[in-house]
């Protein structure tokens, strides 16, 4: 079965290699695209087959490793594949969403110039390789390596429109922030090696080191999975083409952080203080992101903050002590958030702008897109029978079990807000009077609608596949209807939808929002912090160091040169060129020589 799992790594790698080296093929446009799409689809099929044959929780993992780093003759780090209950489902999610997005991109990116299209699909294949490599990583080192490669792909894909200055800044910002967080991750991996002598995912021995390693690893998670202080790069990442946002910045890449915690669960399990911190950070992120999403005008920004909020959910779930809740929510969220982004993409494709205020009444023009978007929105809001309801309630339930009442309340509030802002988007975009732009909107071609349909299907059905996520008990679907948090969440969701519909659908309740606060949140206060940190902190420090090096350290070195030159010039005066001075010098020299010798001896 392991060979099947290797397909999603080697096939796209081959595709990337071919596209990278044979530039005529890359410049050929559609053939290159189809090659990449084919390899993505094949990888998806292989992943699903591998998942069916994969060992269920408890069974030994199938794996294959080659030694990579060596230390005094012994190998200290291997590279390879490890297929088990945790990695198999994630592989399916990744490859499935990637395949859908690639097919979707055929339509969405059709009008791009040929070489750019080739480049786009090449990097997409590289992303699949990196993501699969990370999912199947047998040890923490390969996980870290692929984690960084995923960051590289995000940098490349965000900066796809490299001639747009804003895209360039966004791409660089993404890397800076994520790598800043990766300082923690790398230190964690190094500490892991130092304490355990290897890179395995579990840590025997005292829990002190485990706590520290877990905390450091969590720093990396906060960066990649956009937890509150370090989430500033995610909204800017929307500069990339929408399929990229769908694949990377919604479904898979941002979830890497969560998957890291799941993958290295034995370490985190042995570090309770880190877990409690995670619940709080997750909850806070969920709430803050939800509030910010409320006030955004750009449809993609709304979805970005919504992703940020859902990631908060997953992290909070992980913090409760069982990784299943987070993991399950991750998978369901991947499907419906990818769906939402693709739908948003076809909306943008239709009206040509991201600004919600210029949209309206698209339901009539783009029925299918509207229908799929609304389905996704409902799943996100947590309306049964869609998968969102099941996974979100599982999270709330776990929070309840872990007696984390504070985070529970915050998450409930966030759930309500989520429903509210999704409905706001639906009303502003699809319902209400048609704006100038939406008049000449037209439905997206089938090649875009087909993957959205597939994702819609999985978003609906995913709720029922609880059994295959590395957990031992399969929960019956109806189990949630009865629990208290489940009911509370449902009520809040319906309330949110109603309120939002009344405000934006029918224009009542005008006094609800506080425009000043909305404007302040939109301005991105946290982002401002980072920018100021760079402009007043790091850059001036570099300036000072540069100045010190050129004028002080280098100055001191030049001082010697200067002293030598000036000193020797001044000494030239001694050599007067007059014969009598020379004779005098000679005689006095002789006298000193003789005196020193003659008198010196006597003492």
**Secondary structure (DSSP) of 347-364:** HHHHHS--BGGG---HHH
Query: How far apart, in whole angstroms, are the C-alpha atoms of residue 430 and residue 360?
Result: 5
**Secondary structure (DSSP) of 512-558:** GS-HHHHHHHHT-HHHHHHHHIIIIIIHHHHHHHHHIIIIIIHHHHH
User: Residue 304 Cβ, how far from another protein at the closest point, in Å?
Assistant: 22
Binding mask 191-230 for another protein (x = CB under 8 A): x-xx------------------------------------
Query: How far apart, in whole angstroms, are the C-alpha atoms of residue 574 and residue 337?
Result: 87
Does the footprint of another protein cover residue 559 (CB under 8 A)?
yes
Closer CB to another protein, residue 442 or residue 539? Answer: 539
Q: Which residue has the tokens 């002190």?
A: 208
Query: How far apart, in whole angstroms, are the C-alpha atoms of residue 407 and residue 403?
Result: 9
Closer CB to another protein, residue 510 or residue 556? Answer: 556
Does the footprint of another protein cover residue 583 (CB under 8 A)?
yes
Listed residue (257, 316, 320) closest to 283, CA to CA: 316
Among 3, 162, 476, 535, binds another protein (CB under 8 A): 162
Is the dihedral angle over the CA atoms 123, 125, 131, 136 positive or is it negative?
negative
Among 61, 148, 437, 527, binds another protein (CB under 8 A): 148
Does the footprint of another protein cover residue 542 (CB under 8 A)?
yes
Does the footprint of another protein cover residue 546 (CB under 8 A)?
yes
Does the footprint of another protein cover residue 64 (CB under 8 A)?
no
Q: Tell me which stretch binds another protein (CB under 8 A): 67-75, 243-251, 285-293, 383-391.
A: 67-75
Among 186, 200, 494, 502, binds another protein (CB under 8 A): 186
Among 3, 67, 206, 440, binds another protein (CB under 8 A): 67
Does the footprint of another protein cover residue 541 (CB under 8 A)?
yes
Does the footprint of another protein cover residue 529 (CB under 8 A)?
no
Closer CB to another protein, residue 188 or residue 432? Answer: 188
Does the footprint of another protein cover residue 273 (CB under 8 A)?
no
Does the footprint of another protein cover residue 603 (CB under 8 A)?
no
Tell me the Cα Rg of the chain: 31
Does the footprint of another protein cover residue 549 (CB under 8 A)?
yes
Calculate ∠ Cα 407-409-415, nearest 5°.
100
Does the footprint of another protein cover residue 277 (CB under 8 A)?
no
Are the CB atoms for 155 and 175 separated by under 8 Å?
A: yes
Are the CB atoms for 424 and 409 separated by under 8 Å?
A: no
Does the footprint of another protein cover residue 533 (CB under 8 A)?
no
Is the dihedral angle over the CA atoms 93, 96, 100, 101 positive or is it negative?
positive
Does the footprint of another protein cover residue 146 (CB under 8 A)?
yes
Listed residue (220, 79, 102) closest to 151, CA to CA: 220
User: Residue 210 Cβ, how far from another protein at the closest point, in Å?
Assistant: 16
Q: Tell me which stretch binds another protein (CB under 8 A): 65-73, 91-99, 336-344, 383-391.
A: 65-73
Does the footprint of another protein cover residue 22 (CB under 8 A)?
no
Does the footprint of another protein cover residue 506 (CB under 8 A)?
no
Binders in 125-144 for another protein, by CB under 8 A? 141, 144
Among 60, 482, 598, 603, binds another protein (CB under 8 A): 598
User: Count residues contacting another protein (CB under 8 A)?
Assistant: 95
**How many CB atoms within 10 Å of residue 133?**
22
Closer CB to another protein, residue 405 or residue 584? Answer: 584
Query: How far apart, in whole angstroms, are the C-alpha atoms of residue 127 and residue 8?
Result: 11
Are the CB atoms for 368 and 447 separated by under 8 Å?
A: no
CB within 8 Å of 485: residues ≥ 6 apart: 393, 396, 397, 399, 400, 408, 412
Assign 3-state DSSP to the chain and report helix, strand, coil percentages, each to 5: 75, 5, 20
Q: Tell me which stretch binds another protein (CB under 8 A): 163-171, 363-371, 385-393, 405-413.
A: 163-171
Binders in 561-580 for another protein, by CB under 8 A? 561-562, 564-569, 571-573, 575-580
Closer CB to another protein, residue 457 or residue 531? Answer: 531
Helix axes 367-381, 446-461, angle to 10 degrees: 30
Does the footprint of another protein cover residue 457 (CB under 8 A)?
no
Are the CB atoms for 503 and 426 separated by under 8 Å?
A: no
Closer CB to another protein, residue 439 or residue 594? Answer: 594
Among 190, 450, 461, 498, binds another protein (CB under 8 A): 190
Q: Tell me which stretch binds another protein (CB under 8 A): 440-448, 456-464, 480-488, 542-550.
A: 542-550
User: Residue 201 Cβ, how far from another protein at the closest point, in Å?
Assistant: 18
Closer CB to another protein, residue 190 or residue 447? Answer: 190
Taking each continuous run of H as one helix and of E as one strand, the counts in the chain are 28, 2
Among 34, 68, 280, 464, binds another protein (CB under 8 A): 68
Query: How far apart, in whole angstroms, are the C-alpha atoms of residue 295 and residue 293?
Result: 6
**How many CB atoms within 10 Å of residue 576?**
11
Query: How far apart, in whole angstroms, are the C-alpha atoms of residue 384 and residue 392?
Result: 11
Closer CB to another protein, residue 436 or residue 599? Answer: 599
Structure tokens at 135: 């999912």
Q: Tell me which stretch binds another protein (CB under 8 A): 38-46, 184-192, 277-285, 407-415.
A: 184-192
For residue 69, what are the β-bridge partners? Answer: 77
Does the footprint of another protein cover residue 517 (CB under 8 A)?
no
Are the CB atoms for 386 and 375 separated by under 8 Å?
A: yes
Closer CB to another protein, residue 52 or residue 575? Answer: 575
Closer CB to another protein, residue 59 or residue 581? Answer: 581
User: Residue 190 Cβ, how far from another protein at the closest point, in Å?
Assistant: 5
For residue 78, what are the β-bridge partners? Answer: 67
Does the footprint of another protein cover residue 155 (CB under 8 A)?
yes
Length of the chain: 603
């Amino acid at each position: 079965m392991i060979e099947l799992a290797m397909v999603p790594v080697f096939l796209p790698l081959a595709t990337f290699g071919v596209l990278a080296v044979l530039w005529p093929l890359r410049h050929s446009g559609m053939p290159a695209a189809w090659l990449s799409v084919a390899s993505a689809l094949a990888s998806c099929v292989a992943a699903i087959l591998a998942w069916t044959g994969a060992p269920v929780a408890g069974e030994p993992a199938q794996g294959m490793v080659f030694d990579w780093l060596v230390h005094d003759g012994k190998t200290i780090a291997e590279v390879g594949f490890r297929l088990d209950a945790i990695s198999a489902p994630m592989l399916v999610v990744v490859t499935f969403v990637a395949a859908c997005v690639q097919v979707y991109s055929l339509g969405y990116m059709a009008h791009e110039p040929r070489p750019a299209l080739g480049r786009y699909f090449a990097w997409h294949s590289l992303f699949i390789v990196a993501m699969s490599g990370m999912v199947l990583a047998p040890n923490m080192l390969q996980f870290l390596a692929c984690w960084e490669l995923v960051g590289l792909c995000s940098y490349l894909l965000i900066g796809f429109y490299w001639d747009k200055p804003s895209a360039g800044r966004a791409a660089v910002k993404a890397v800076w922030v994520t790598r800043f967080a990766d300082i923690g991750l790398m230190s964690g991996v190094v500490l892991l090696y130092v304490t355990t002598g290897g890179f395995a995912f579990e840590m025997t021995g005292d829990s002190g080191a485990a706590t520290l390693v877990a905390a450091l690893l969590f720093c990396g998670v906060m960066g990649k999975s956009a937890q509150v202080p370090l989430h500033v790069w995610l909204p800017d990442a929307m500069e990339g083409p929408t399929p990229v946002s769908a694949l990377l910045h919604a479904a898979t890449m941002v979830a890497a952080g969560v998957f890291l915690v799941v993958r290295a669960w034995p370490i985190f399990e042995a570090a309770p203080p880190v877990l409690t911190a995670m619940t709080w950070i997750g909850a806070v992120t969920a709430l803050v992101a939800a509030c910010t999403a409320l006030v955004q005008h750009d449809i993609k920004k709304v979805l970005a903050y919504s992703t940020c909020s859902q990631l908060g959910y997953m992290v909070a779930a992980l913090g409760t002590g069982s990784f299943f809740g987070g993991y399950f929510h991750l998978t369901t969220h991947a499907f419906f958030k990818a769906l939402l982004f693709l739908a948003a993409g076809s909306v943008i494709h239709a009206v040509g702008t991201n600004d919600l205020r210029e949209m309206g009444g698209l339901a009539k023009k783009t029925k299918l897109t509207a229908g799929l978007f609304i389905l996704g929105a409902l799943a996100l809001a947590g309306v049964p029978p869609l998968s969102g309801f099941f996974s979100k309630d599982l999270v709330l339930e776990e929070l309840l079990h872990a007696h984390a009442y504070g985070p529970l309340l915050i998450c409930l509030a966030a759930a309500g807000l989520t429903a509210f802002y999704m409905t706001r988007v639906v009303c502003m975009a699809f319902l209400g009077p048609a704006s100038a732009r939406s008049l000449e909107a037209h439905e997206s071609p089938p090649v875009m609608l087909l993957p959205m349909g597939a994702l819609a299907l999985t978003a609906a059905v995913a709720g029922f596949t609880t059994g295959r996520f590395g957990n031992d008990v399969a929960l019956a679907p109806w189990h949630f209807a009865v629990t208290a948090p489940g009911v509370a969440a449902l009520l809040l969701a319906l309330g949110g939808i109603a309120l939002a519909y009344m405000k934006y659908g029918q224009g009542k309740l005008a006094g609800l929002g506080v425009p000043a606060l909305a404007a302040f949140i939109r301005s991105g206060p946290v982002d401002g912090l980072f920018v100021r940190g760079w402009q007043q902190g790091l850059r001036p420090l570099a300036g000072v160091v540069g100045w010190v090096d050129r004028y002080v350290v280098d100055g001191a070195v030049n001082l010697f040169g200067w002293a030598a030159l000036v000193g020797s010039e001044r000494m030239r005066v001694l050599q007067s060129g007059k014969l009598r001075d020379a004779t005098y010098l000679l005689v006095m020299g002789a006298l000193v020589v003789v005196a020193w010798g003659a008198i010196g001896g006597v003492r």
